[in-house]
Every structure is written in C-alpha cells, then in structure tokens.
Structure 1
C-alpha cells in the first residue's frame, strides 16, 4: 500500500492535519526531524506513517511504561505489529519478545533499558530504519539530573548512523531545542507547529493553606473528569483520602505505588470509572483520554514548561476545558527544597572524584554524566542548569501574580487573549461527570493483550 492507502485503510483518515502533513513530508524526504506539535495534535501518526510506508522497523524511546503500553495497545488495535520492553515484564515474556524482535514494526523501550548490556546485545542484531524519540523534551528537562541515561542516546544514534531520527514533543523552548540537537549529535530539521490551546481557560486562584482543601472540593463538584497535580506524594495520598471522605470518587498515582496499581489507576480513569486522579507529575504523559475537562495544580509546578505540558492533557477533544492553579507562594519552598535535594552539586563531584561514598543514585548519575562530559565541563553545565531551574521557579511566581495575560506568560505570545482570567475576567464552567459502573478492569487481560501469543 502507498501512504494514502495506509492512512485511509489502517488509520481511517482521508487526509493529514496541516501540522502533521509538513512533518510527514519531511520524513518522506529522509530528513532527521524535531517535530513540535501541541498535546493532542497527533504526534504518533507523524512517525508511524513514514515507518509503515517503507515497511520499516522503528525503535521508539519513551520515558514511561504507561506511555509505551498505551501506544502498543493502540497499534495492536490497528493490527500493526508492536511491542514494548520494560522491567515489569517477567523473564518468560521478555525472552519471547526478544526472540521475535525482527517481527515487529515498532519496538518501544526506555533509555534506561537501552543502556543495559543485554539490551544492546539484542538490538544490535536488528536493522532499524528509524529511531523515534518521543517526549523529546525529557532530554533537556531530565537528562542532567533526574534521568541521565537520556544523555547516552547519542551512542545509540552513532551506532545506527543510517537510521532516520524523528524526535517529537509538545513542549519546548529555544534552550530545549538546542539541548535536543546538541545532546543527540544530530542536525535535526525543526518543524514547529505548536499552537495556543484556546479551548483551555486559564485561571489562578489565591489559595492560602487553610482554604485550599475547601476550595478544591468546591471546584470538583463541577469540574468533570479531572487531574489534580501535587509536588508531594504524601499530600497526594492525604488529599485523596479527604476527597473520598467527602463523597468524590477517584484514585492516586505516584512512584511509590506498584506497577500493577498504577496501571489500574490509569485504566480506571480512561474507562470513566472514576472522576479524578490525584497525581504527581508523571501521570498523564501520553494518556489517550480526550475528555479531561479540568487540570488543577494543588502545588505550584517547577516551571512554565512543566505547567504547559500538564495542562495540555485537558480538552484533547477540542471541547471547552480549564486549567486552574491554586496559588500559594509558600508552595515554592517545596519546589526549591526538591531542587536542592535532587541536583548534583559541585561538592558531589568533588566527593566522587576523591572516591568518597555518595548515595547510589548520585554515584550512578555522575558516572553516566562523565561519559559525556569532562569534570570541568560538567561543573559548568550543572551550574547553568541550576540557574535555569531557579529562573523557571521565579517565572511561576510571576504567573501566579496575575498581573499580565496568562496566555502570554505561558506561550510567549503577545498579551491579550479570550481564554484567560486576566483578560476576560473569571469564567465559571460546569462540566458533567458520567461514571461507568465498573468494578473489575481486567488488568491482567489488558496486559496480556499487548503481546502476541
């Protein structure tokens, strides 16, 4: 089948959207691409269609297991051969998949798995036509501290020098774009089709600590399907318990939960069995739920970058939605504390160089970083990254002050819009929540469906 036939017969579309069309045309020309599209803009089709057109094989690098499994499930629904490899699979499942790698058009994995000797031994025998880096902003946002394995992706690209690279993200600024190109060691054709999400109404509500909980309850009664973001896992659980006691139906999602429990939460939310999810920042990335009406931030996020990414999960169906920040300047203390606790410092580098024991996590991070940079260069980069993160927190303080158009603050556009509280005044929305009566979600059956027998 040619590309138009694939688009129509497999995906059910007559034409591509204008933003998608430019990206696919560049991919058809064989160019390495960094594609910027808004959340819900159809990024997945932009890499899947070119791969299928040449009957190719793509290694797709994604940050989250839930994101891998969502995309694999969708591809399998379309009768496209796809599989994901991650640490939560048992030995039998991994062996079965690895023995059949040549059969799949799309193989999904994380940068951490790719860094293992076992992974490299298997993928080195596969002739990939495409290397796809989904959520490519993670290279810049996470690479220097949280998930340094992202900084090793250039080694993979060097090995597959003949493979076409397609990197995709919904969130990027000039620094992020520069970082992605620099860290991958590839010159990428940047195609920027981001647009302001005008169907998401932006609000900031002053929320002193004593009033936050009551304000949240007031909002939820008419919020429709909602995500509530927290900086603290403990607060995430505590607030969920209080909401449950008040009669709301929801779940929590964070890293301290088991893989099975987290998948159960995601499936419950997708299936409209619950109204809300109290979550930390990982939840929602790539989630294929189009009717999220409200995104509430209980704590101030660490950057505009993160905020745009998270509120973009609302209104993927194009219908009216809202993003509400419960602003309390004291919350910034949490963000500053996390920044200092998590970052690799100059003192950490000195201790590492002198072979003085650090935490296992920092020990591994520094060893990976030193595969890319000298001590001197790394020290300079980490100082620069810290300054950038502090500036990002300062920008969130300015957003919370509501003294300028909120859209202009978030998207770096001219002031004056018709979908923010500053420009048009407060708007009250009443969204319906229709919950399905489902008690058993068949998690095991869902997981088994992702892998061929």
Structure 2
C-alpha cells in the first residue's frame, strides 16, 4: 500500500469513528461506498434496515462535497436531518409544512448546508430552479429510488422530471431496498444516466414469516398483542385502520397513522412510537419510510399489500436490531378482489388520456399527471405505458394471492429463491412468540390526551 493509499484509508476510518462512532462498516456498506468513492454514478440496492443513509453520507463528507437529497416523504426528510444534526453536520430540509420564517431562513443560507433535503415536487417550482442553479452540488442523492418507477407513472409524476435537474458534474447516488428488473430499468431510463447497479440485498432470516386465515382478525390481533412487542399493523383502508385502532385502544396503548392526518399529528405518532410510549401503530403504507426504530418485533398486515416488493419493504421494518421478529399476513381472498377494484378505479386509463387529449375536464391531479406524461412521451408510447403499468400492478396482486395461498416455503416465494428459507411456518413449523412485554400506560391518541399523559396532568 502506498503512503497516499494509507492516508486515504486513515481518513476514511477516522471519519467513520469520529462522526458515527463505528469502528467498521458492514460488508455491504463497504462495497457500495468503495464504488461511490471512485466517482461513478450508482444505483445501490440494500435491504430495509441495511444502513443505506451512511452509504451516501460518508462519501459526501469525505469528499468535502455538498449533496441535494431527494426523498418522497416529509417524515423521512425530518428524520434524516435530525440524525445529521445529532452528528453535528449541517443539514436542512425544505417542505410545505415549514414555518414561513424558518423556510426563509433556510433558503437564505442554503450555501451553508452540506445536506439539503427536498421532494421532487419542490424541485419543479420556479423558486427551486433558481436556487438550485446557484449551488454547486457535488452529489445528487435519490433516496427510495423505486418511487421513480412505482409512483412516477402514478400519483407522483414529478419523479419523472428528475433528469432535468441533473448536471454532468453531479455524481448521482440512487438507493432503494425495493426493486425488480422493471423498476431498475425504469430508474436507469428515466434518470437518463448510466448508473452502476450494486445489489447487496439479503434475505432477513431473523423475521419469521407466517400467514393466517382468520374470520375475526380483530380478535386474533388482540390475542397476540400482549406478547408482540412494538407492533406495526398495516391496512389498505384508512377507515378500517381507524376503526380497528379505536377498538384496540380500549385494551392497548397505540395510535393511528395515515395521510388524512395533519403533519403535526403524524409527527406526534412517530415520536411516541419511536420512544416506546405506545405499543402499536395502526397505519396505511404512508407509515414506515424513515422510521429508524430498531426494536419493532412484529409487523401485521391486516390487508394484503399490493405487491411482494411492498410486503418485503414493510416487514423489513421489523427486527432491525438483528433479533427475532415476526411478519404476519392475515390473508383474505376478499382483500385481493378489493385491491383489484381499487386498481381499476384509480389507475390512469386510456379513457383518461383520450379525455385529456380531447380537452375534457379532468380532476386536477390527473390533469397535472397527464400534462407531465404527455410532455415526456408520445401518444403511442403513453398508451403502451398505461397498459404496461396496469398489467404490472395486476400481476403483482396475483403474486400476493399466490403467497397468501402458498402451501410451501414462504421465503422462497418472497425472494425468488430455489432453496427453502428455514425461517417460515412451512420450514420451521407454526410458532408463537413471547417478546418482551411493554409496560405502557394506556393513553388517548388525541393531541391533548397525549400531552397530558406525558406530563401526568
């Protein structure tokens, strides 16, 4: 090893120790960071809880660079900014819920921050375009990069415009835990960059997989909660999510979380759950990204998720500490039919495209979606994309139906493996778990009740 190489390694190790308090990286992090440090554009695939934030943060710090970090959710921005500030690094996020004075202060001092977090929608504003052009970003990071494909053709079309902000001298780092070949191809195509794909995903063998058919799902969940540790219960319906929570709250301490709640309410739920002040959260898929809670022991799906990729991502929030965890799907064929009806109702259709091209009135959301899509694709391309996305989502639902009805290894189904996994109900037998009990007083889930409980008022 040359003196230069030794000096670089020492700087690398010293930064890791002094800033993060780690003596070494995980092997998967090491592989990804080594490639990023060469200056290549990278698409890194890592398991949920694999420490992907460090994979972009450390290279930016070591290079003395400045990163624009694009994330899908405000909660994810806030969580990562709080963590970077804890590490004494200059970071800020820009989103619609910021106080006007706070937002003005951040915008006036953007040059001072090493990490700036924002959404694709903000980047499309005239204000953002003017500010971004003034800042010499060395890195553009796209966290949860699967959203480019999964949401870009759907309800977050601004993801399709990210290529417009990329400059030749920006190093692009895209990261995700959730991607199949279609999504990887979409990311590379839509960003219009050659990214080196590094797949460091591994199966989460500490998460026991099981499927149950239960006529009374509520009663079954109640029978589990005493021994379930910290729990996330996922729903596809906001109404049912609220209904089940209110019934569970009569006996257990928890809150509900979905997109109809205010920003302050959602942040209150996240904080309470993170700090073990409640045992469970009844949530839609809006909950989870950026929840860096390592001791979640149980993830229950009350409804069948839309795809195996979504399921892998959501159950991956359990057992991040490496200890035993449990992923339970309460399977019901009716959930598949319900999801299929939602797919038919909510998906962009050829009829929507025809209406838009003929100047007919459309809901504002679909109008904006089609404005972006028609600016990027020809009519023929767009008709193909609309059909492809619909068929892809339909196929994903059918795969979840196969998983729910499986009579052999669940892990092999989820991860497309040839050999039995060794950690599901078919490989390991039926299991019940008795995780450490949580001694939490039952509290109200309204803001006033929560604050009163904190201060014993």
Q: Give the structure-1-normalised TM-score.
A: 0.94
Matches within 5 A, 1:188-337: 188-208=195-215, 211-245=216-250, 247-337=251-341
Contact 2:253 2:443 in 1 (8 A): no
1:420 and 2:429 aligned? no
SS of equivalent to 1:385: helix
* Alpha carbons of structure 1 residues 438 and 68: separation in structure 2 relative to 1, 3 Å: farther
Report the equivalent of 1:448: none
Structure 2: how far apart are the matches of 1:145 and 1:346? 14
SS of equivalent to 2:394: helix
Structure 1: how far apart are the matches of 2:300 and 2:444? 28
TM superposition shift of 1:386: 0.5
TM superposition shift of 1:2: 2.4
SS of equivalent to 1:216: helix
Q: 2:410 aligns with which of 406, 417, 441?
A: 406
Q: 1:184 aligns with which of 179, 186, 191?
A: 191
Structure 2: how far apart are the matches of 1:26 and 1:439? 48
Contact 1:274 1:435 in 2 (8 A): no
TM superposition shift of 1:26: 0.6
Structure 2: how far apart are the matches of 1:184 and 1:115? 15
* Alpha carbons of structure 1 residues 78 and 221: separation in structure 2 relative to 1, 3 Å: same
Structure 1: how far apart are the matches of 2:30 and 2:145? 20
Report the equivalent of 2:155: 146
Q: 2:94 aligns with which of 85, 94, 117?
A: 85
Structure 2: how far apart are the matches of 1:101 and 1:440? 40
Report the equivalent of 1:396: 400
Contact 2:42 2:173 in 1 (8 A): yes
SS of equivalent to 1:86: coil
Report the equivalent of 2:134: 125
SS of equivalent to 1:194: coil
Cα displacement string for residues 189-222 of structure 1 (whole angstroms, at most 9, x for unaligned residues): 01111000000000000123xx111111112121
Structure 2: how far apart are the matches of 1:135 and 1:71? 13
Gaps of 5+ in 2: 1-9, 448-457
SS of equivalent to 2:134: coil
Contact 2:298 2:327 in 1 (8 A): yes
* Alpha carbons of structure 1 residues 339 and 124: separation in structure 2 relative to 1, 3 Å: same
Structure 1: how far apart are the matches of 2:246 and 2:381? 47
SS of equivalent to 1:124: helix
SS of equivalent to 1:432: coil
Report the equivalent of 1:41: 50
SS of equivalent to 1:273: coil
Gaps of 5+ in 1: 444-453
Report the equivalent of 1:338: 342
SS of equivalent to 2:249: helix
Cα displacement string for residues 412-442 of structure 1 (whole angstroms, at most 9, x for unaligned residues): 111312100122211110112324679899x
SS of equivalent to 1:60: strand
Cα displacement string for residues 332-357 of structure 1 (whole angstroms, at most 9, x for unaligned residues): 12211221222110000010001100
Report the equivalent of 2:35: 26
Contact 2:249 2:442 in 1 (8 A): no
* Alpha carbons of structure 1 residues 440 and 79: separation in structure 2 relative to 1, 3 Å: farther
TM superposition shift of 1:156: 1.1
Structure 1: how far apart are the matches of 2:278 and 2:389? 39
Cα displacement string for residues 108-134 of structure 1 (whole angstroms, at most 9, x for unaligned residues): 011111111111111111110000000
SS of equivalent to 2:161: helix
Structure 1: how far apart are the matches of 2:24 and 2:413? 34
Q: 1:67 aligns with which of 70, 73, 76?
A: 76
TM superposition shift of 1:39: 1.1
Structure 1: how far apart are the matches of 2:307 and 2:65? 38
SS of equivalent to 1:10: helix
Structure 2: how far apart are the matches of 1:148 and 1:422? 41
Q: Give the structure-2-normalised TM-score.
A: 0.93
Structure 1: how far apart are the matches of 2:42 and 2:270? 31
TM superposition shift of 1:277: 0.2
What do you get for the CA RMSD once the two structures are aligned? 1.6
Q: 2:176 aligns with which of 169, 173, 178?
A: 169
Q: 2:434 aligns with which of 406, 430, 435?
A: 430
* Alpha carbons of structure 1 residues 403 and 249: separation in structure 2 relative to 1, 3 Å: same
TM superposition shift of 1:3: 2.1
Structure 1: how far apart are the matches of 2:294 and 2:392? 33
Q: How many residues align?
A: 437
